[in-house]
Chain A
Amino acid sequence: MDLILFIITGAIALIGAGAMLISRNAVHSALFLLMNFGAIAVLFLLLQSPFLFTIQLTVYAGAIMVLFLFVVMLLGAEQVENATPDRLAWSRPLAMALGLALLAVAGVVALRTPSAAVPDSAQALGFGEPSQLGKLLFTDYLLPFEITGVILLVAVIGVVVLNQRGRKL
């Protein structure tokens, strides 16, 4: 049952990712990416982690993609112009090579990890709990957590400062 669900969800995620790259319309791309995010959220659910499932939905599907769509729609930049020559022609082969390299590394890691190191579902049950995650964030990983917070704050302040400068001119 789990395996069948995993195969279906994985296929949907892959189709979404592929269609996102191929699609010529930015809004369609955004929708396929949304499909991909949804499928990945379901994969978290299959890994017995409802917390990560909801976070994936809230943060990626609910906040980031909405902002993407908002900007795309506001700028009216849905269609890719075919007439303009691609100035970043070198980026495509480079991205492909790097992507393949990443895939190879992931494959090597996955094959080398002994199956005993993979926690079974009973062990994993306690992992995704919000209380456990919160405890880890505020004890062992306090410094990275705080640094992330400061980085986000810097971004917010940057937006306000840039906006103020524009107003004075």
Chain B
Amino acid sequence: MDLLILVIQCFVITLAVTGGFAYLTLFERRVLARLQNRVGPNRAGPNGFLQPIADAVKLFFKEDIVPSRADKWVYLVAPAMAVIPALIIWAVIPFGCLNINWDYAACFNQSGAGLHNILQIADIDVGVLYLLAITSIGVYGITLAGWASNSKYSMLGSIRSSAQLISYELALGCAVLSVVMTYGTFSTRLIVLQQGGLWGVVPQILGFSLFLVASTAEVVRAPFDLVEAEQELAGGYTTEYGSMKFALFFMAEYIKLIAVSAIAVTFFFGGWRFPGLETLGRGMTELAGPVVGALVMGIVSLAAFLLKVLFFLFLSVWVRASWPRMRYDRLMTFGWKWLLPLGLLNIVYTAVVFVLVPGQAVASVVLCGVGLITMGVAAGLSRSARPAGIVKAARVSGD
């Protein structure tokens, strides 16, 4: 029985995430078009609702080629190695709390006794580390695709990607580590549970900013999309791929984007929680019995989670429409000289404040203040840190 539920969960989540990818592409194209004063795809179905299906059919019927000088096996394995991490990362993320032992209150129980939450596949006690581990093996798909294609554009794209992902993984790890220090647990369920009062973004405002930037770089989205940089690399690692193999890379990229949004929600925006959820569960249980109470609780918490994720997806599209691509040396300088030191500082802040200041709430607010001040100082320093020569040269050429 348990095995059957597990298999169904895996199927449902895989299909849901893939469907989410399809409609995320439509969402992105429509929103991007609006932000650029265009209309976007609106021909297939009402408001372009069937556009993703049309795209999928088109990609299926394209010719499937393997370049003659490519390393055939690695070329074929690379798309799979891109998609698999993007899918298995979802195993530890809690989407909501639907307890099929029909007791809503168990969702808010620290020990998790009597809890069988079907909206989270695996509640393991090292969930956060699992997320980091899967993120770190996500680089293989891109790297191998670029190498196996045996083309200089693909190769440059994949070398850029491995350097970029290794660099930004450190800042990402620092941000995640400070969250772990704040809540004192590696379990994603407990991290969500402890955000009943203040959301994680309050104590970890600096950590959240770092996470947002580093995770955008980690999923190679604009403005960190040097890996595919159409103007210089003709598409980077996907240049030599066509048909469904290209679609798999595309899919992996967008699923990873949804996944990091979901992780950001879980760590910093209370996961599936929102104020009054517990009261709602209690009220529905008293009104209509425990089964309805648990069901309502599950559906509402899932909806809250999805809405928060949607906000982050919109943010990502907005960023893509607003910022130009970074230069490669700036990318490296930013990652190593700004994000990593700030991440280490944030770990020190978290440790010191939680030891010195009594009370979780007060410490959180103090940490928020310190984080904001640090970000302000860093922004000021980065403005004054430009070499004088370049500024002078720019002024001269401006005259």
A-to-B contact residues, CB < 8 Å: 25, 27-28, 31, 34, 50-51, 53-55, 57-58, 61-63, 66-67, 69-70, 73-74, 129-130
- Report whether B166 and A67 are in contact in the complex, using a CB–CB cutoff of 8 Å: yes
Q: What B residues does A63 contact at CB under 8 A?
A: 136, 166
With contact pairs A28-B74, A73-B155, A129-B125 given, residues A57 and B163 touching in the complex (Cβ less than 8 Å): no
- Report whether A66 and B159 are in contact in the complex, using a CB–CB cutoff of 8 Å: no
Q: What B residues does A55 contact at CB under 8 A?
A: 129, 133
Q: What B residues does A53 contact at CB under 8 A?
A: 126, 133
B contact patch SS: helix
The residue on A at minimum CB distance from B128 is A54
Extra 14 A-B pairs, beta carbons < 8 Å, given A55-B129, A63-B166? A50-B130, A53-B133, A55-B133, A58-B132, A61-B136, A61-B137, A62-B133, A62-B136, A62-B169, A66-B165, A69-B147, A69-B162, A70-B166, A73-B162
Q: What B residues does A28 contact at CB under 8 A?
A: 73-74
- Report whether A70 and B159 are in contact in the complex, using a CB–CB cutoff of 8 Å: yes
- Report whether A54 and B143 are in contact in the complex, using a CB–CB cutoff of 8 Å: no
With contact pairs A66-B143, A66-B166, A73-B147 given, residues A54 and B71 touching in the complex (Cβ less than 8 Å): no
Q: Does B139 contact A (CB under 8 A)?
A: yes
Within 8 A of A (CB), among B145-174: 147, 155, 158-159, 162-163, 165-166, 169
Q: Does B186 contact A (CB under 8 A)?
A: yes
Q: Does B15 contact A (CB under 8 A)?
A: no
With contact pairs A62-B136, A66-B139 given, residues A51 and B129 touching in the complex (Cβ less than 8 Å): yes
Q: What B residues does A25 contact at CB under 8 A?
A: 71
Q: Does B23 contact A (CB under 8 A)?
A: no
With contact pairs A70-B162, A73-B147 given, residues A57 and B125 touching in the complex (Cβ less than 8 Å): no
The listed residue with most B CB atoms (<10 A of its CB), out of A34, A54, A67, is: A54
**B interface residues, tally (CB under 8 Å):** 29
Q: Does B140 contact A (CB under 8 A)?
A: yes
Q: Does B124 contact A (CB under 8 A)?
A: yes
The residue on A at minimum CB distance from B138 is A62
Ordered nearest first, which 6 A-B pairs have the shortest CB separation?
A62-B136, A57-B133, A54-B129, A54-B133, A58-B133, A70-B162
Complex alpha-carbon distance, A53 and B132, angstroms: 12
The residue on A at minimum CB distance from B133 is A57
- Report whether A57 and B137 are in contact in the complex, using a CB–CB cutoff of 8 Å: yes
Q: What A residues does B73 contact at CB under 8 A?
A: 28
B-to-A contact residues, CB < 8 Å: 71, 73-74, 77, 124-126, 129-130, 132-137, 139-140, 143-144, 147, 155, 158-159, 162-163, 165-166, 169, 186
- Report whether A58 and B159 are in contact in the complex, using a CB–CB cutoff of 8 Å: no
Q: How far is the CB of A161 from chain B (nearest CB, A)?
A: 18
- Report whether B158 and A50 are in contact in the complex, using a CB–CB cutoff of 8 Å: no
- Report whether B140 and A34 are in contact in the complex, using a CB–CB cutoff of 8 Å: yes
Q: What A residues does B133 contact at CB under 8 A?
A: 53-55, 57-58, 61-62
Complex alpha-carbon distance, A49 and B277, angstroms: 35
Complex alpha-carbon distance, A67 and B136, angstroms: 12
The residue on B at minimum CB distance from A28 is B74
What are 16 A-B contacts defined by CB distance under 8 Å? Answer: A50-B125, A50-B130, A53-B126, A58-B136, A61-B136, A62-B135, A66-B139, A66-B140, A66-B143, A67-B166, A69-B147, A70-B162, A73-B143, A73-B162, A130-B126, A130-B186
Complex alpha-carbon distance, A74 and B132, angstroms: 26
- Report whether A50 and B136 are in contact in the complex, using a CB–CB cutoff of 8 Å: no
The residue on B at minimum CB distance from A71 is B162
With contact pairs A54-B126, A73-B147 given, residues A66 and B162 touching in the complex (Cβ less than 8 Å): yes
- Report whether A27 and B137 are in contact in the complex, using a CB–CB cutoff of 8 Å: no
Q: How far is the CB of B263 from chain A (nearest CB, A)?
A: 15
Q: How far is the CB of B91 from chain A (nearest CB, A)?
A: 12
With contact pairs A34-B140, A62-B133 given, residues A74 and B125 touching in the complex (Cβ less than 8 Å): no
Q: How far is the CB of A52 from chain B (nearest CB, A)?
A: 9
- Report whether A73 and B159 are in contact in the complex, using a CB–CB cutoff of 8 Å: yes
- Report whether A31 and B159 are in contact in the complex, using a CB–CB cutoff of 8 Å: no
Complex alpha-carbon distance, A63 and B135, angstroms: 11
Complex alpha-carbon distance, A74 and B163, angstroms: 11
The residue on B at minimum CB distance from A51 is B126
Q: How far is the CB of A73 from chain B (nearest CB, A)?
A: 5
